[in-house]
Structure 1
Amino acid sequence: MQQTYKEYATDNPHGYWFKARPFGWGWVPVKREGWMVVGLMMIALLINGLWLNGLGEPTLKQAIQFVLQTTGIVIVLLVICFKTGERLRWQWGLSTRESDATKTTERH
């Protein structure tokens, strides 16, 4: 399974930073740039959390600011994923080219 997933991730002729997840809906980073974006997002979320923690007992205004900043970070990540990633689709697992061809011929 791990080898099959590695083949799926490296089969990237369009140079996507993020490919559609093999199970479910969403993306996974498959290029260095995608991993860097995810890492920077995690650092931004950590800094945002440390900022809130450093305030002591946050006021309602500070809590709202934290939520808005976190939402902004996630929105930026989603925009980058939509622009540099594969088109989203629901998937039930890694498919082989042979089974895809069989499914196509069975439908006709």
Structure 2
Amino acid sequence: MTASPPAEIAEVLAPALNADGPVHAAPRGQVPHLGVGARRACGCGTIHFALGTGEAEPAPTGTGTVVTAAARLATEAGERPGKVPLLTRGGYPSWLEACPWSDDSEVTPPAATGRLRHRP
């Protein structure tokens, strides 16, 4: 797969992967090769990725599923309505979650664009 992800997804991944080290560097190199495999119909903000494993090196995360990176949502008013973690499986991006802290928050990748800060 050589198609890049939609701009809204790339913008959400950028702050989550804005850290030093090979665990974040490898997924940054994989982003241009990511395609959206599926979006959940329920509106929860989960996005599954499609990536040909021969197109990029895996992140050194092991063979299981792990949270490789995450960013917290931050509003201009200083509120923190949720977070967006990136989960990898076998060193490759598998899916992105949009997780609100409450039912009152809209936390989807499009809503998160421009509101994310790297989680320290």
Higher relative contact order (CA 8 A, sep 6+): 1
**With structure 1 as the length reference, what TM-score do the two structures score?**
0.24
Higher helix share: 1
TM-score normalised by structure 2 residue count: 0.22
If you compute each CA radius of gyration, which structure gives the higher value, 1 or 2? Answer: 1
